[in-house]
Structure 1
Amino acid sequence: EEVMEETIAFKMDPKSDSNVAGEVEFTEKDGNVVMTASFSGLTPGKHAIHIHEKADCSAADGTSTGGHWNPTSEPHGKWGASEGYHRGDIGNFTADAEGNAVVEFTTDLWCLSCEDETKNITGKAVIVHQGVDDFVSQPSGAAGARISCTGIIK
């Protein structure tokens, strides 16, 4: 049986007067999607990263992407939490003293252009936030300004 593997990659655009640039890549293989992202221009420390509803980075503050992608209508939370979480709730990552970071994330709850709308991340957006996701505040985790954006478009 042939194993289908597909990779799509995007450049991140700075938002909200930040200088946060980077690239994000998604690879689908064997029923999993692997996200690999690298960023520069961040303030050192922790930042939130989420998948948002719409692949529209036109707004200067990134709000054109809508809210967190939440196709299963759950409360916001930490990925895997029994109380529930959004399919877009990737969580937090840490930037080093130079403002660089690499994020790797793998899940079988995403797909690229499959028929299952609760899993398909195509047409959504990746957003990096200035602040930290507290995993409690609804519906967004109070993660602050949207400082980098890309659409997941084929």
Structure 2
Amino acid sequence: MKRVWMMIPIILLTGCLEKEITKLDVKMVNDKGDSVGTITIQEVSSGVKLYLKLNGLPPGEHALHIYDKGQCKTPDFKSAGEHLNPDDKEHGLLHPKGSHAGDLPNLIVDDDGSVKGELMAANVTLKEGKKSLFPKDGTSLVIHEEKDDGMTQPEGDSGARIACGEISKDGKK
């Protein structure tokens, strides 16, 4: 009988611990609120890998950024805030003083409006901490109408925001 009672606190304690999120889906929507696919993000040893599976986008090169608010209100997605920038750096992957944590390589959308591929976000994590994608206000992924030139402040002269997805622990795997 004593053995059973000694196990109960261990079982209760284990059940209260939140499981660390290592992978989740971000559902992307356009300015009308229609789905344009999913970006799966996964914690890896060198940051967060993004697996893109998108459609219904304009063909060509487009900027993709991580923003500092977890809101995607249509039609302009201004609710997503600004680029995620916990280290107070300048914008642009080509900037000599370093880039925002939310700066990512451009996407290349095929003529049929689709894009499949992988990108790396080396300056963020799904774990707790300063560079986490789970701060109090959340974060989001935003696709722009133009490419990011890699230098121009504050968003790389990338034009309007055309698609957005809220990064949420609810999409965890």
Q: Shorter-normalised TM-score: what interval?
A: 0.7 to 0.9
Q: Under a length normalisation based on structure 1, what TM-score does the superposition of the two structures give?
A: 0.85
Count of aligned residue pairs for this structure pair: 147
CA RMSD of aligned residues (A): 2.1
Q: How does 1:42-57 map to 2 (within 5 A)?
A: 42-57=57-72
Q: CA deviation at 1:35?
A: 1.1
CA distance in 1, matches of 2:65, 2:30: 15
Bigger share in strand: 1
Distance 1:92 1:31, change over 3 A: closer
Secondary structure at the aligned position of 1:85 is classed as coil
What amino acid does structure 2 have at the position aligned with 1:146?
R
Secondary structure at the aligned position of 2:106 is classed as strand
Unaligned residue ranges in structure 2 (runs of 5+): 1-19
Distance 1:18 1:133, change over 3 A: farther
Distance 1:18 1:45, change over 3 A: farther
CA distance in 1, matches of 2:90, 2:44: 29
1:25-81: CA deviation from partner (whole Å, max 9, x where unpaired): 1111345321112211122110000001100112420000011111111110116x5
> Once the two structures are aligned, what percentage of the paired residues are identical?
32
Distance 1:76 1:151, change over 3 A: same
Bigger share in helix: 2
Q: CA deviation at 1:109?
A: 2.4
Higher Rg: 2
Unaligned residue ranges in structure 1 (runs of 5+): none
Distance 1:32 1:136, change over 3 A: closer
